[in-house]
Amino acid sequence: MINTVNDFWQMAWQEDCPVIVMITKLKEKNEKCVLYWPEKRGIYGKVEVFVNNVKECDHYIIRSLILKNGGQSRKVQHYWYTSWPDQKTPESAGPLLQLVNDVEQDRRGFTSCGPIIVHCSAGIGRTGCFMATTIGCRQLELEGVVDVLGIVCQLRTDRGGMIQTEEQYEFVHHALSLYESRLPAEPGQ
């Protein structure tokens, strides 16, 4: 929201966030999210944000940002997934899995050990699907099995209402099934 933009950037700075994932359009039926980043350069409270590079992919836009506060600066990747409809699911899980993979690669490549910021509009439906898919992919890689219900229950313990609809829950299953089919036969390979 317009009155929380400065707080958002302060949080990103304070928590040493390496990656921001936005899974909403700015406007769907009504306003979902204000444009909280600048075109080139903007000052948000004590945090200065520079857009260093913009790369457009089929389903999302990647902005390489530089945040400055005092005499320090940090890099942050901003992913804006634009093709996920509100309270629904995408037609295919492939683009979501690509996003999960790209975000994970960026997270591992940054020296920052802060959390990834993930948001949609309400922060529970699409955000929950992204987080459950990310956690499930990691489980599959490390253990060769995934507990989708367990992941969703834990997410809902942490934030009520995560994954809003039956369709979204099924989509997470579908995405993880597709991810599993692409893995090598043995975990850890």
Pick the closest to residue 94 from 62, 60, 53, 61 (CA basis): 60
d(CA 48, CA 38): 10
d(CA 95, CA 83): 9
3-state secondary structure of 34: coil
- 120 catalytic per annotation: yes
3-state secondary structure of 181: helix
d(CA 171, CA 76): 29
Pick the closest to residue 52 from 76, 70, 16, 19 (CA basis): 76
Say which of 33, 57, 113, 120 is annotated catalytic.
Answer: 120
Pick the closest to residue 173 from 154, 144, 147 (CA basis): 147
Query: Mind telling me the catalytic residues?
Result: 120
